[in-house]
Amino acid sequence: MPPPHSKPESTSRSGLNVPAGTYTLYVLVGDPQNWRLIVNKQTGQNGDSYDSSMDLGRVDMKMEKPPAPVEKLKYTITASGNSGKLQLEWENHIASVAIRAK
């Protein structure tokens, strides 16, 4: 099941304005070197029922290589003031996107 993500205030993700609310986050990994974060307005679904018509938007993620392979998928959100970063680490990939609260 994709992780639900609840936002108490509006957020901007690399140019995508995300109003306060609850969302599901997906990541397109078809191209191993160019992941895309999808913010979807539908919540409560399992991983088998993705509806792209409910996408709020999609943003490209910054790609890096970890110093060693990451065996378990890891989500990290870091914040400093009103800005921060959402980062995913998995296998030979680190993908991140900047976030900013408005």
Q: Are 13 and 99 in contact (CB under 8 A)?
A: yes
Query: Hey, is 90 helix, strand or coil?
Result: strand
Q: Residue 36's domain spans which residues? A: 4-101
**CA separation, residue 61 to residues 10, 28, 46, 48 (Å):** 20, 10, 23, 23
Tens digit of pLDDT at every position of the chain (102 positions): 444 454 444 444 457 888 889 999 999 999 989 999 999 999 988 777 889 999 999 999 999 999 999 999 999 999 999 899 999 999 999 999 999 887
**Domains identified in the chain, total number:** 1
Specify which residues 97 forms β-bridges with. Answer: 86
